[in-house]
Structure 1
Amino acid sequence: MAAWRAMRFASVAEGSNVGSETLDNLYDEVARISTAYPREPLNRVLGDLIEAQDVAFRLLEGRQRPRQTAELYLLSGVVSLMLAKASHDLGDPRAAMRQARTAYICADNADHDGLRLRVRAQQSLMAYWAGWATEAARYADLGRELASAVAGSAGVWMLSQSARTYASLGDSERARADLALAATKRDSLADDELDQMDGLMRFADCRYLYYCAEARIWIPGAEDEAEHAALQAIAAYDEAAAAGSPDWAYGDDAGARSDLALVRAAKGELDGVAEALRPVLDLPPDKRVAGVIASAMRVHGALREPRYHGSRQATRVQQEIEAYGRTPAAALSSGQ
């Protein structure tokens, strides 16, 4: 609270135009939140996100030089994008889309293709997890042209997100084509200025591997490929966690492990299901965001197949998943 009070005072003290110190302070704070968000429980970063958006919007209501206005719109867009993810993580897709639309308006005002592309990828992601597959495909298509033009990791994100979206719609050919394009884009990757914020703004290699597994989950006959990709993603996340890397993200790590459990359920390997899902079910309530719970519930659905009827082991896993989903992170953040 004291730090935010100091930032507000600095912005006033520098005069009617935004000074370099104020912009530097805001940039540093936005980058810190971007790095912290995937690693920390949501209730630890949500208040700071709301404060950052408030400060950025208040500054935009004043007068700045054109270059400073563009920088403020960029930072406002990044914060609004992170708040879109926060609403998504709290299980409110409609509020998430409102924040994302604000982020896109900011990206337009900043004339920043890297942010435009990240917003489209996030919109597609949120629609995908809300069960709006055709809407997810629409947002993926809106970002497709930018994916080849933008240098940063957002292009890999957009193509990978498109792959799992089209795979979920049954278009395996399109999904495989998008995965191939994402791999090519990844091989020639050059960071942009938003990648340098790390965390949410950078589509890390481990996240790419997770999306590869997720896409193949939907492709008939690709169970072995999906299992291999999920194991690669889990190994990459384990390595990132051990190194204290900003690439580690508990939500996507849990998603990769849930995908591994889902593949093993499809292959009839119940012991493997329980083993893969154990770290997910051990997550504390403040890390049980909507996407993580949705991933676990897909495993629950797979265990309802006729082959598992009467299996005590399958029933125990289902009961654990049900108990797990009764205390989501949203319940702990309702006071924010």
Structure 2
Amino acid sequence: MSWHMAKACHDMGDPKNAMVQARAAGVCAQQAEHPGLVALTFGLKSLITYWSNKGTEALHYARQGAAECPGLRGTVAVWLAGLEARAAALLGDEEAARAAIQRAQELREQVQHDDLDRLGGLLTFPESKHLYYTVESEVLLGYGNGRIAALAEEAVERFSDPDAPDWAFGDLAGAQCNLALTRLYSGEVDGAAEAIRPVLDLAPAHRNRGIIVSADRVGTALLRGSARDAVTARDLRAEIEAYSPNRPALPR
């Protein structure tokens, strides 16, 4: 229960209470002597701090989870490596990010689904989400070449079916924002606007913490390079600034 409460607090933009609940979940997992659940709580702490732009803490929790729970073969091990890659990329540490991306892929190839995977939902880390994390790591490192753009499009496509068991509107929105960023890196302002449009059209009640941060990244990227003065870019920045009334405007 605490684990899901932590995720709910995080989605609602309350990282302080999310961490309180995540720590409570960690204590319960330790008392249950369940390595998979222990790893899952470290992953959750990494997730919460990552979306709070605390890359150093996010990296620490991801690595601590892997260190304290070695030998896991379920997808939680892949998740920890994916979280490490994103946190390292957020910090601009390309070497660490690439090593974690490679390790996540190696762990994916060795996966043996465990009891958490069989429960599914938030307790498993499917290939679609793995791809989304990989693309996000590349985007955070500043890459948006043809290969990354193709992977970004594939990530969006994998979340296109709302009836799929691993579908999540937050992951779809994140993938769409990453696609928008890859297009901006190539100077495709109109293409970026097209990619992020479904995100901007989400009802306010669906704009969770991760989605708002992802949209903000697009807004910040619109301030750079030749896109800065384009009419489409200015309009898009204004729309992103109004996306969440509870956070400060984008830097200018």
| TM-score interval, normalised by the smaller of the two chains | over 0.9
Work out which of the residue numbers 244, 247, 252 in structure 2 matches 1:325: 244
SS of the residue corresponding to residue 316 of structure 1 reads: helix
**Could you say if the C-alpha distance between residues 84 and 200 of structure 1 is closer, same or farther in structure 2, counting changes exceeding 3 Å?**
same
Amino acid in structure 2 at the alignment position of 1:301: T
**Could you say if the C-alpha distance between residues 284 and 104 of structure 1 is closer, same or farther in structure 2, counting changes exceeding 3 Å?**
same
SS of the residue corresponding to residue 243 of structure 2 reads: helix
- Partners of 2:193 and 2:246 in 1: how far apart? 20
- Partners of 2:150 and 2:17 in 1: how far apart? 36
Which residue number in structure 2 is paired with residue 69 of structure 1?
A: none
Which residue number in structure 1 is paired with residue 234 of structure 2?
A: 315
8 Å Cα contact 1:258-1:280 kept in structure 2: yes
Which residue number in structure 2 is paired with residue 200 of structure 1?
A: 122
Which residue number in structure 1 is paired with residue 157 of structure 2?
A: 235
Structure 2 residue 202 is matched with structure 1 residue 280: no
Amino acid in structure 2 at the alignment position of 1:158: L
8 Å Cα contact 1:216-1:225 kept in structure 2: no
SS of the residue corresponding to residue 181 of structure 1 reads: helix
Deviation at 1:225, TM superposition (A): 3.8
Deviation at 1:305, TM superposition (A): 1.6
Which residue number in structure 2 is paired with residue 161 of structure 1?
A: 83
8 Å Cα contact 2:35-2:69 kept in structure 1: no
Which residue number in structure 1 is paired with residue 179 of structure 2?
A: 260
- Partners of 2:70 and 2:182 in 1: how far apart? 31
CA shift digits 1:179-203 (9 cap, x unpaired): 1111111112121111122111111
Amino acid in structure 1 at the alignment position of 2:156: I
Work out which of the residue numbers 280, 295, 299 in structure 1 matches 2:214: 295
8 Å Cα contact 1:217-1:223 kept in structure 2: no
Deviation at 1:318, TM superposition (A): 1.4
User: Which structure 2 residue ranges, 5 or more long, are not aligned?
Assistant: 248-252
Q: Bigger relative contact order, structure 1 or 2, given CA contacts below 8 A and separation 6+? A: 1
**Could you say if the C-alpha distance between residues 314 and 222 of structure 1 is closer, same or farther in structure 2, counting changes exceeding 3 Å?**
closer
Structure 2 residue 188 is matched with structure 1 residue 269: yes
- Partners of 2:89 and 2:172 in 1: how far apart? 21
8 Å Cα contact 2:82-2:100 kept in structure 1: yes
Which residue number in structure 1 is paired with residue 250 of structure 2?
A: none
| Structure 1 stretches of 4+ moved >4 Å | none
User: Which structure 1 residue ranges, 5 or more long, are not aligned?
Assistant: 1-78, 329-336
- Partners of 1:143 and 1:136 in 2: how far apart? 11
Structure 2 residue 10 is matched with structure 1 residue 91: no
8 Å Cα contact 2:144-2:186 kept in structure 1: no
8 Å Cα contact 2:189-2:227 kept in structure 1: no
- Partners of 2:27 and 2:223 in 1: how far apart? 44
SS of the residue corresponding to residue 248 of structure 1 reads: coil
Root-mean-square deviation over aligned CA pairs: 1.7
Structure 2 residue 164 is matched with structure 1 residue 245: yes
- Partners of 1:195 and 1:205 in 2: how far apart? 12
CA shift digits 1:278-324 (9 cap, x unpaired): 11112112211011011001101111125234321111111222232
Structure 2 residue 68 is matched with structure 1 residue 149: no
Q: Please tell me whether Structure 1 or Structure 2 has the larger radius of gyration of its CA atoms.
A: 1
- Partners of 1:231 and 1:147 in 2: how far apart? 34
Amino acid in structure 2 at the alignment position of 1:294: V
**Could you say if the C-alpha distance between residues 297 and 222 of structure 1 is closer, same or farther in structure 2, counting changes exceeding 3 Å?**
closer
SS of the residue corresponding to residue 194 of structure 1 reads: helix
Amino acid in structure 2 at the alignment position of 1:257: Q
Q: TM-score, normalized by length of structure 1?
A: 0.70
Structure 2 residue 99 is matched with structure 1 residue 177: yes
Deviation at 1:326, TM superposition (A): 2.8
Which residue number in structure 1 is paired with residue 223 of structure 2?
A: 304
8 Å Cα contact 2:82-2:104 kept in structure 1: yes
Structure 2 residue 29 is matched with structure 1 residue 110: no
Give the length in aligned residue pairs: 247
Amino acid in structure 2 at the alignment position of 1:80: S
**Could you say if the C-alpha distance between residues 326 and 231 of structure 1 is closer, same or farther in structure 2, counting changes exceeding 3 Å?**
same
Q: TM-score, normalized by length of structure 2?
A: 0.92
Amino acid in structure 2 at the alignment position of 1:152: G
SS of the residue corresponding to residue 132 of structure 2 reads: helix
8 Å Cα contact 1:227-1:263 kept in structure 2: yes
